């Protein structure tokens, strides 16, 4: 470490811990000047080579305070610029390097998911090591290798790691920006439509994170995604028995998207949203019912939505019956 020249002992050229001054006015580290004078019996100042008249040694308290203040400042600066590595740092680096060098990433991703879930210290270390960028690259591979089973499975596992990472992250702007890019949105949409039940849950919860951050990701969904995207969300809403959390997340995501765009409502209507929601209404609990009624209200703001409602044999009856039983928070749908 570099330090001011005035803090160096002229004999050892090392930082002084216990500076003392001799009769010639030069300051040394105590142990070094004592050895020079009393062990080696020298009679001259090692710096000026002047003859020493007295062997009195005076502690230099001012210089010692300056050295201590400088050390404290350096320690604080070091803590700010050099975050403490987690105990899993070497393993993280090894796993990330392995994933970048081989197409067979699934085992490494499973290990990575377990490590990232250990806590915030490991999660922060993972981020500093560039782990998020590696995961986003793996997910984006699905755009060019969608028929490759190995790449598809790796993408599903990478989603699991990202889900675990985001669960521990209160506000990770960098990760949200990476996931809000068009290629990331397209990859997540593919997993939402074709992934396993677990992968679809991860995808929809990641979309929810993006919705909360609002990085214009809905623009890419509305522009680039067809009615298949909305059909996949509606399938999750219908699959309540398979994954209640995924169903609830899909409902909330649909409200977020449809509430911001008429174009998205038309795509949802094309995907059969009105019919699906009407058929789910009778068996839905209060919370889910209120969300579905809100969706129907949004859909019926379009002529196509109102037509789909009227043409459904149970439409008006199902809504009227539910409106009598749910809380006043439910919107008054047509």
pLDDT of residue 285 exceeding 50, the answer is: yes
Q: How confident is the model over 210-254, as pLDDT tens digits? A: 887 766 666 666 677 788 899 999 999 988 665 788 888 999 999
193-199, Cβ contacts within 8 angstroms, sequence gap of 24 or more: 193/228, 193/229, 193/231, 193/232, 194/152, 195/155, 195/156, 195/159, 196/156, 197/239, 197/242, 197/243, 197/246, 198/156, 198/160, 199/155, 199/156, 199/159, 199/160
Q: How far apart are CA 234 and CA 122, in angstroms?
A: 36
pLDDT at 1 over 60: no
Residue in the structure block whose two tokens are 């377990």:
114
Q: What confidence tens digit (pLDDT) does each residue in 147-169 have?
A: 788 889 999 999 999 998 887 77
At 333 the pLDDT is 47
Q: Does CATH number 3.30.465.10 belong to domain 226-334?
A: no
pLDDT reported for residue 269: 93
Q: Mark out the alpha helices in 82-216 (DSSP H runs).
A: 89-101, 106-116, 120-128, 131-140, 149-168, 173-179, 182-194, 197-213
Token pair for 115: 């490590």
Where is 303: in which H helix or E strand? helix 303-311
Residue ranges of domains in the chain: 5-81, 85-223, 226-334
CATH number, domain 5-81? 3.30.40.10
Query: What would the mean pLDDT of 264-268 be, rounded to a whole number?
Result: 91
Same fold, 85-223 and 226-334: yes
Tokens of 316: 């008006």
User: Which tens digits make up the pLDDT trace of 101-142?
Assistant: 677 889 999 999 998 888 888 888 888 888 888 899 899 988
How would residue 329 be classed by pLDDT, with cut points 50, 70 and 90? very low
- Is the model's pLDDT at 39 over the cut of 80? yes
CATH of 85-223, one of 1.25.10, 1.10.12, 1.10.287, 1.10.3470: 1.25.10
Q: How high is the pLDDT of residue 29?
A: 95
Residue 45 is predicted with a pLDDT of 93
The whole-number pLDDT of residue 208 equals: 86
Is residue 149 within 8 A of residue 102, CB to CB? The reply is no
* pLDDT band at residue 78 using 50, 70 and 90 as cut-offs: low
pLDDT for 299: 93
d(CA 295, CA 318): 14
**Residue entry with tokens 């309540």:** 240
For the chain, the average pLDDT equals 84
């Amino acid at each position: 470490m570099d330090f001011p020249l005035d803090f160096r002992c002229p004999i050892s050229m090392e930082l002084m811990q216990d500076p003392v001054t001799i009769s010639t006015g030069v300051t040394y580290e105590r142990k070094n000047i004592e050895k020079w004078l009393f062990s080696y019996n020298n009679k001259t100042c090692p710096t000026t080579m002047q003859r020493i008249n007295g062997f009195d040694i005076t502690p230099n308290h001012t210089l010692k305070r300056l050295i201590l203040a400088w050390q404290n400042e350096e320690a604080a600066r070091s803590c700010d610029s050099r975050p403490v590595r987690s105990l899993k740092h070497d393993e993280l680096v090894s796993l990330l390097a392995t994933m970048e060098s081989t197409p067979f990433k699934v085992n490494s991703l499973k290990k990575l998911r377990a490590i990232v879930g250990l806590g915030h210290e490991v999660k922060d270390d993972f981020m500093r090591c560039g782990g998020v960028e590696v995961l986003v690259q793996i997910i984006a591979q699905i755009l060019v290798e969608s028929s490759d089973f190995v790449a598809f499975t790796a993408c599903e596992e990478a989603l699991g790691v990202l889900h675990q990472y985001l669960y521990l992250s209160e506000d990770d702007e960098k990760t949200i920006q990476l996931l809000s890019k068009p290629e990331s949105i397209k990859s997540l949409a593919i997993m939402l439509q074709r992934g396993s039940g677990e992968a679809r849950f991860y995808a929809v919860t990641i979309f929810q994170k993006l919705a909360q951050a609002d990085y214009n990701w809905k623009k890419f969904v509305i522009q680039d995604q067809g009615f298949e995207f909305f059909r996949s969300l509606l399938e999750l809403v219908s699959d309540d028995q398979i994954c209640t959390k995924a169903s609830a997340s899909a409902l909330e995501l649909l409200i977020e998207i449809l509430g911001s765009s008429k174009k998205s409502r038309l795509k949802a209507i094309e995907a059969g949203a009105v019919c699906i929601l009407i058929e789910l209404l009778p068996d839905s609990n209060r919370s889910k019912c209120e969300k579905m009624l809100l969706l129907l209200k949004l859909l019926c703001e379009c002529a196509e939505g109102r037509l789909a409602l009227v043409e459904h044999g149970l439409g008006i009856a199902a809504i009227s019956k539910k409106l009598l039983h749910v809380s006043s928070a439910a919107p008054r749908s047509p």
